[in-house]
Amino acid sequence: MLNKDALHALDRRTWSGHNHTEFCPHGSGEDVEDFIQAAIAQGFKTYSITEHFPLPPDFYQHPVGSRHAVYTASFDQVELPAYLAKMTRLKEAYRSQIKILVGFEFDFFPEFADWTATQLARYGDQIDDAILSVHFLPTGQGLRAVDDSAADFRSGVLAAYGSPLAVANAYLDRMQAAVDWQVPNKPSRYGHIMLYRKWRNGFPAETLWADTTTTQRLTKLLTTITTERALLDCNMAGLFRPTQTEFTPTLPWIQTAQIQQIPLVFGADAHCVAAVGQGYNTYLENHFDL
């Protein structure tokens, strides 16, 4: 994996840092080569391929919630060699046109931290770049997805925690644990740190998603990220979702990150070719790349 100095040195005006492939079971199935060609056409010079790393086998011992959330979250571990071989081949094939960083988006699970550490040790030197994200929260029944569907969000984490604000705080606590986690070959970038707001437009306007408790947690989170010299996924995908219509982090927290000089890396979080450049103009025009 590239070290932090190398990642800080990349030109963020032309770096697309968060993209999926046909290996993703909840993606469009379009070939990654078509994603790469779209990225070249849009002027990107660096392109990170960050497929969801396979979820821990123990996760499937006690699956709860929507079957879609459980069984399309990631591809199967048996496909890892094929994934790495294909991405590495394309990295070489397109070397003269774009710098491809082969990598993964890893899920942070305190429950399975040892397993994830083993995977980082095993694959860390075979990849260039990685994101660490939270997509699941613990409930009384087991781990539930935050981002699969509004119905799954309501019947899972919202029912378990009682309010959107409580979900927000639980999510930020888990994100803080991800940032505090000490492990060799740790990913240097944190994914969509406010993913819990994905369904906010389906709730009445007066619903609270933020207050002094979330402010305290986000302040601490960004301070820790600053201390670590880590990078942040400036995830634009939510801007185009009718349920969210905002990017992640939200504008006030992007501004705080900028004051703290945390590098914000453009993230289309593309799961289809049409999404490769989504939000790129907004990212550039608002100088999130600074």
**Which one, 134 or 257, has the nearer CB to Zn ion?**
134
**Gap between the Cα atoms of 190 and 229, Å rounded:** 11
Which residues contribute to the site for Zn ion (CB under 5 A)? 133, 191
* 229: Cα separation from own chain's centroid: 18
| Least Å from the CB of residue 267 to Zn ion | 9
| Least Å from the CB of residue 101 to Zn ion | 17
Q: Is 9 exposed, middle or buried (0-12, 13-18, 19+ CB in 10 A)?
A: exposed
**Which one, 34 or 45, has the nearer CB to Zn ion?**
34
- Torsion angles phi and psi, residue 131, rounded to 5: -115, 145
**Which one, 54 or 191, has the nearer CB to Zn ion?**
191
Structure tokens that stand for 255 in this block? 């501004």
CA distances from 59 to 56, 77, 168, 189 (A): 5, 13, 22, 23
**Which one, 140 or 275, has the nearer CB to Zn ion?**
275
| Least Å from the CB of residue 52 to Zn ion | 6
Peptide bond into 184 cis (omega under 30): no
Residue nearest to Zn ion (CB): 133
| Least Å from the CB of residue 195 to Zn ion | 7
| Least Å from the CB of residue 265 to Zn ion | 14
**Which one, 65 or 191, has the nearer CB to Zn ion?**
191
**Gap between the Cα atoms of 229 and 41, Å rounded:** 32
